[in-house]
């Protein structure tokens, strides 16, 4: 009886003591926060009132806010002043034009991730990886993405002068862009390749992405297509719901598509497929590259995690963070990173996380003009797909089969960089020659080729337009010039689909995808074929998983040099 009476008393006493301790701890923390706020206000007051030169108090507060946010080391978090936010809101709701460039912060610059095909930026010759140096005379250094976009937008038909930095060049390249209304289809065209293989490029995850993709694949299946190559290269992302919708076309009902993890209320969530797969069983290869970002990575990661597709290309961009807008006093807005994306098996998409692998050992220039980040040995954490297939994590999505695009030699790269110094004039000459060539060849066939005579004619156009290109540069850059001359002619004569069909023979990544998917009847056979390719990511991931397991178990006592015989 005595024990029964004492036990409740001890519990009550412990609760009372702990409650008092927590109460005191809470008061102490509140006092500490109050003291810190008071300390900050005292510093602001002294600086505003006593500094040797007059200081704007509002600017002091703004500098403090900027310092706080920059200290987070997150390029996607920023303070948006009321006037800036209102201007952006008004312009995005009105009839305003742009220059057709998808931009993201990278390495302290507002960097072009993807020029929209046919847009002013792409037409002028701006490439992925270029960064803004000036926009209409305003230095771009220190600008956040919203401020840069605000300067680039304007009335359709009006010009905007920009200077662009480019890897490998010391001096910026000047361009004059004419703003235009940018209208972009998610799926610009479809193409039946050899046999029963279909090809669909998905350029952006806009409001109609799922519907356009479904219609595209349905049309190909009506032509007898049974295997699909889905091209997400250069796709910068877009709407989350469209990324989920596209994934739902291929994975089972209830399968996890993506997960967010954050500390704030409502920031951690899981998004599952809510419909059955429309294209169940169809073997799929997904093409990805360093410009595949955000929703593209969500789709690629989910299909890879669920063993639904084989990925071919290069590691994706690694834009795996979620930003939320918080209204502040006087109409100001805080854009704050509040969560990160994770694939169904828990791989982080974001390159910013601490265990992310370095972006690249070095960069090369592709025949297309794109900058290619060349990864060396993959030192990344190991994961397993839902079926137990080895995968690699660490930020960005590593494809199952890594294939670099056709890259330029050292001599070719130097010559092409010399062409870049001519800015938009070189690309303007390409366009002018292409239009003239098409007019002179009314019966032009898609299999045309540019020979010595055409190259000489283009050289004449460069001279007439006073584009300074030396004979040595022209000779070293001949392969690059020939590729872009043929593509420009094909696009102008036959549209984007024609440009694709004409240049497909140079696409090493697509060629590998066709080779991989040809002849397989099931997704299981496709993934097995991908694993058998020398240097496949699956084999690298398997080795990483074995090493990780060995480290987790610790050293084998039988081989420990310090143990007794």
Cβ-contact 297, 378 below 8 angstroms:
no
294 is known as an active-site residue: yes
Strand partners, 392: 382
Residue found under tokens 């460069």:
462
Residue found under tokens 């930026």:
121
Residues 6+ apart with CB under 8 A from 5: none
Smallest CA-to-CA distance from 475 within 411, 407, 548 is with 411
CA separation for the pair 508, 431 (Å, rounded): 26
Q: Looking at residue 263, what DSSP letter applies?
A: S
Residue among 231, 305, 476, 507 flagged as catalytic: 305
Q: Which two tokens stand for residue 518?
A: 């040809």
Q: What are the phi and psi torsion angles at 416 (to 5°)? A: -65, -35
For residues 368-392, b (16+ Cβ closer than 10 Å) or e, as one string? bbbbbbebeebebbbbebeeebbbb
Residue found under tokens 């007898």:
224
Residues 6+ apart with CB under 8 A from 464: none
Smallest CA-to-CA distance from 410 within 173, 172, 125, 168 is with 168
Residue among 78, 292, 319, 536 flagged as catalytic: 319
Q: Kindly tell me the sign of the dihedral angle through the C-alpha atoms of 245, 250, 254, 260.
A: negative
Instruction: Tell me how long the chain is.
Output: 565
CA separation for the pair 159, 174 (Å, rounded): 13
Q: What are the phi and psi torsion angles at 326 (to 5°)? A: -115, 120
556 is known as an active-site residue: no
Cβ-contact 307, 386 below 8 angstroms:
yes
Q: Looking at residue 180, what DSSP letter applies?
A: B
Q: How far is CA 245 from CA 217, 248, 440, in A?
A: 14, 5, 46
Strand partners, 372: 364
Three-state DSSP at 522 gives coil
CA separation for the pair 97, 78 (Å, rounded): 24
Residues 6+ apart with CB under 8 A from 346: 259, 383, 393
DSSP 10-21: HHHHHHHHHHHH
CA separation for the pair 437, 458 (Å, rounded): 10
Q: Which two tokens stand for residue 31?
A: 């006092």
Smallest CA-to-CA distance from 285 within 551, 512, 36, 482 is with 512
272 is known as an active-site residue: no
Three-state DSSP at 515 gives helix
End-to-end CA distance of the chain: 60
DSSP 95-158: S-BB--EEEEEETTEEEEEEEPTTSHHHHHT--TT-EEEEETTEE-TT--HHHHHHHH-BSTT-
Residue among 294, 296, 503, 536 flagged as catalytic: 294
Strand partners, 407: 366
Residues serving a catalytic function are: 294, 305, 319
């Amino acid at each position: 009886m005595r024990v029964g009476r004492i036990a409740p008393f001890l519990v009550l006493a412990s609760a009372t003591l702990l409650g008092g301790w927590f109460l005191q701890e809470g008061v102490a923390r509140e006092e500490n926060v109050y003291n810190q706020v008071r300390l900050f206000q005292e510093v602001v007051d002294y600086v505003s009132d006593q500094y040797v030169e007059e200081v704007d108090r509002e600017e002091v507060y703004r500098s403090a806010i900027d310092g706080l946010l920059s200290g987070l080391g997150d390029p996607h978090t920023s303070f948006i002043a009321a006037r800036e936010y209102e201007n952006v809101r008004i312009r995005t709701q009105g009839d305003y034009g742009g220059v057709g460039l998808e931009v993201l912060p990278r390495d302290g610059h507002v960097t072009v991730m993807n020029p929209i095909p046919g847009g002013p930026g792409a037409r002028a010759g701006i490439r992925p990886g270029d960064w803004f140096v000036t926009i209409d005379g305003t230095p771009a250094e220190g600008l956040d993405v919203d401020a840069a976009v605000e300067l680039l937008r304007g009335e359709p038909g009006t010009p905007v002068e920009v200077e662009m930095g480019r890897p490998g060049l010391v001096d910026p390249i000047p361009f004059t862009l004419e703003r235009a209304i940018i209208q972009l289809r998610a799926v610009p065209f479809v193409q039946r390749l050899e046999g029963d293989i279909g090809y669909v490029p998905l350029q952006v995850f806009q409001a109609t992405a799922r519907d356009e993709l479904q219609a595209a694949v349905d049309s190909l299946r009506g032509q007898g297509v049974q295997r699909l190559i889905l091209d997400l290269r250069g796709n910068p992302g877009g709407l989350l719901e469209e990324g989920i919708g596209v994934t739902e076309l291929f994975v089972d009902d209830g399968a996890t598509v993506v997960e967010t993890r954050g500390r704030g209320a409502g920031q951690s969530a899981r998004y599952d497929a809510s419909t059955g797969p429309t294209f169940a069983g169809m073997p799929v290869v997904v093409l990805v590259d360093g410009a595949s970002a955000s929703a593209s990575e969500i789709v690629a990661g989910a299909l890879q995690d669920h063993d639904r597709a084989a990925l071919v290309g290069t590691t994706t961009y690694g834009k795996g963070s979620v930003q939320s807008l918080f209204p502040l006093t006087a109409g100001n807005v805080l854009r704050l990173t509040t969560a990160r994306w994770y694939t169904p098996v828990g791989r982080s998409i974001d390159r910013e996380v601490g265990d992310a692998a370095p972006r690249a050992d070095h960069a090369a220039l592709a025949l297309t003009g794109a900058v290619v980040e060349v990864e060396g040995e993959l030192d990344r954490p190991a994961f397993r797909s839902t079926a137990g297939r080895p995968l690699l994590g660490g930020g960005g999505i590593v494809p199952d089969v890594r294939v670099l695009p056709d890259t330029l030699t050292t001599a070719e790269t130097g010559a092409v960089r010399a062409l870049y110094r001519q800015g938009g004039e070189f690309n303007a000459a390409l366009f002018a020659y292409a239009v003239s060539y098409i007019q002179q060849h009314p019966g032009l066939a898609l299999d045309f080729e540019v020979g010595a005579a055409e190259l000489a004619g283009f050289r004449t156009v460069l001279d007439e337009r006073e584009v300074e290109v030396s004979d040595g540069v022209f000779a070293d850059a001949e392969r690059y010039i020939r590729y872009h001359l043929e593509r420009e002619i094909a696009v102008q004569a036959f549209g984007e689909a024609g440009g694709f069909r004409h240049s497909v023979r140079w696409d090493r990544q697509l060629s590998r995808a066709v080779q991989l998917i040809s002849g397989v009847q099931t997704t299981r056979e496709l993934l097995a074929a991908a694993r058998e390719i020398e240097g496949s990511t699956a084999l690298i991931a398997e080795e990483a998983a074995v090493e990780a397991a060995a480290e987790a178990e610790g050293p084998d006592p039988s081989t420990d040099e310090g143990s007794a015989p």
